[in-house]
Structure 1
Amino acid sequence: MYKVPDQSGRRVVVTGANSGTGKEATKRLAAAGAHVVMAVRTPEKGGVARAEILREVPGAELEVRRIDLADLSSIHSFVDGLIADGRPIDTLINNAGVMAPPKRFETPDGFELQFGSNFLGPFALTNLLLPVLLNSGAPRVATMSSGTANFGRINFKDLQSTGNYSPFRAYAQSKLADMLMAQHLAAVAADQRWNLLSTYAHPGYTRTNLQTSGANLGREKPRRRLLGDRTLLPSQDVTQGTEPLLFAAASPDAVQGGYYGPGGKFGLVGPTKKVEPPRTSRGVDLAASLWTVAETLTGTTLAGTTLAATTPRPAGGIR
């Protein structure tokens, strides 16, 4: 099992910290000495997760704070609270996400739910937290992508999937967008000579509630899977599956713009290794172009400032 290096004195924000890879990352970072801000949509669930972690890691420094990555106003409120603390954030882990709702849902800001929650929310959070991060001696932003990004493409003509919604295509686009965000942030940090390290990871096929929670959104009864909990693909538990993200967030061997994932069969399981980003992420100016669009949609910039008092509605969005 990957051993997280000493994190004493570091303050870490983990989104989606109440379950799955977020909860596992929180537990292991706290065990290594980090003070972890558990950024969760439902504080009650965050409190339950905090209590469970404390039973395993007595004395862990954990605080639960609310954020809804589907709601830009919630992100602003969360960041305002951290700024008011007057302390730097050393590491931001963009982990939370939603996967493949069966029908198209919209965020309060009019974005397709997966594109809004998985990409635009973390994008705005990263931008707004940047001034606080840069006050750290060795800041990091680690972003969770997915192997499905290999099959994604950025549809600039219909980013919000208003024309023809496909759960899988929308998810793949959102996780490819996360990958491009991490790449562009790394490029800007290098160009500006910031001491910020931007990395990204994917968990392979890790068994968490991500596969079921999104697929059951809007359903009166949970969807029954043909093979139940079985799968024909190799899979791993959350302990192993969180390790690429932990490596990206904490290892001294992680590099600027590095992408990390399982090194075993089909890239779905096994110990962490540095992996090559897929061809879908290598378009000329693709990351920079998406970044510019996301700035307009979220009203945030890398300076951590707000572009406008109101967020423009996405094309085809319904308020």
Structure 2
Amino acid sequence: MNATATRPGRWTAADVPDQTGRVAVITGANTGIGFEAAKVLAARGATVVLACRNPDRAGDALARLTASNAVARVEFLRLDLTSLASVREAAAELRTRHSAIDLLINNAGVMWTPRSTTADGFELQFGTNHLGHFAFTGLVLDRLLPVAGSRVVTVSSVGHRTGRIDFDDLQSERRYGRHRAYGASKLANLMFTYELQRRLEVAGADTVALAAHPGGAGTELVRNAPSLIRRLYPLFEPLVTQSAERGALPTLRAATDPVTRGGEYYGPDGIGEVKGFPKRVGSSARSHDKLVQRRLWEESLELTGVTFPV
């Protein structure tokens, strides 16, 4: 019997089924929830590709993974989501290495950064969190489509609830607020997931798209917070954060639980979805606007120059 049925509301890493023979690609897997997800998937037998920007930090992550599991099958793939050239190079390299991919976890991200731009001139948070992952997914999706049960899991945030997609100022050139831009990028992650799932269904594909958020996970993202928040953070951290290990559980459930379905969204079950065990959660009404989802998809195709096989 599936453990989800016997222990409702208490889904843990112990519930991740055997992953032997599966290939899982995780962006930003050198630290935080990406690393914790990689550790669990590798322990369950998956070949895990750590798609990261920094080779040194990725090397350290690989060493830690193999130190805890001598037979872990882990690889490094250099991927800089702030550069479409790097995204294309990484996708080409991944396609060379693996003819089939079972799982793509779009996890990497930046939060609350001062305004800056990617190599392609996109606002950094929108360009990294949404456009980089949009492009990478489009370039490798045909490696997932033939694989029964394959999944694309994109990590969003409770911050999506503050987000708005302003098509007149997608790159925040007229007005920039670090929280506003972050919320827009996380809303875009959800809209991308829902639109991708709809297109996969129309195509009759076996691949599904899901989303997850970690709640308040103790990761490095807070490093870009305003100085006042950074100074006060140690005071309220125990109330609003959980470990990166616990924060990875919604991603792992979306990625591996046999009872999940395409288009679902997973997050912690506690008050405000800040802490707790992973369950299916709802997203903002704005995230379900199909007209905006479709327009964002078309805008993203134009901005990245990437086409999708669905």
Same fold (TM over 0.5): yes
Contact 1:37 1:64 in 2 (8 A): yes
Task: State which of 288, 292, 301 in structure 2 corresponds to 1:286.
Answer: 292
Contact 1:149 1:280 in 2 (8 A): no
Give how far 1:37 is off.
0.5
Cα deviation digits, residues 115-141 of structure 1 (max 9, x gap): 000000000001111111113232110
Aligned: 1:235 with 2:241 = yes
Cα deviation digits, residues 132-162 of structure 1 (max 9, x gap): 1113232110000000001111011100001
1:62 alignment counterpart: 74
Cα distance in 2 between the residues matched to 1:300 and 1:208: 31
Cα distance in 2 between the residues matched to 1:41 and 1:88: 23
2:137 alignment counterpart: 126
Amino acid at match of 2:142: P
Alignment size in residue pairs: 297
Cα deviation digits, residues 150-195 of structure 1 (max 9, x gap): 1111011100001111000000000000000001111111111100
TM-score (norm. length: structure 2)? 0.92
2:34 alignment counterpart: 22
1:191 alignment counterpart: 202
RMSD over aligned Cα atoms: 1.5
Contact 2:163 2:187 in 1 (8 A): yes
Give how far 1:276 is off.
1.2
Give how far 1:226 is off.
3.1
Aligned: 1:163 with 2:174 = yes
Contact 1:199 1:258 in 2 (8 A): yes
* Paired residue secondary structure (1:273): strand
Give how far 1:282 is off.
2.1
Give how far 1:223 is off.
7.3
| Structure 2 residue ranges without an equivalent (≥5) | 1-11
Matches within 5 A, 1:295-306: 295-303=301-309
2:62 alignment counterpart: 50
Cα distance in 2 between the residues matched to 1:274 and 1:239: 18
TM-score (norm. length: structure 1)? 0.90
Matches within 5 A, 1:166-245: 166-212=177-223, 214-215=224-225, 225-231=230-236, 233-245=239-251
Give how far 1:300 is off.
0.8
Give how far 1:55 is off.
1.4
Could you tell me the percent identity over the aligned residues?
Answer: 41
Could you say which structure has the higher helix fraction? 2
Cα distance in 2 between the residues matched to 1:226 and 1:69: 29
* Paired residue secondary structure (1:114): helix
Cα distance in 2 between the residues matched to 1:284 and 1:188: 12
Contact 2:13 2:40 in 1 (8 A): no
* Paired residue secondary structure (2:232): coil
Contact 1:22 1:95 in 2 (8 A): yes
Cα deviation digits, residues 249-304 of structure 1 (max 9, x gap): 11111111000000012111101110112112122411111000000000012128
| Structure 1 residue ranges without an equivalent (≥5) | 217-221, 305-319
Aligned: 1:41 with 2:53 = yes
Amino acid at match of 1:265: I
Matches within 5 A, 1:140-151: 140-151=151-162
CA distance change for structure 1 residues 136 and 207 in 2, over 3 Å: closer, same or farther? Answer: same
* Paired residue secondary structure (2:140): helix
Amino acid at match of 2:55: P
Aligned: 1:77 with 2:89 = yes
Aligned: 1:11 with 2:23 = yes
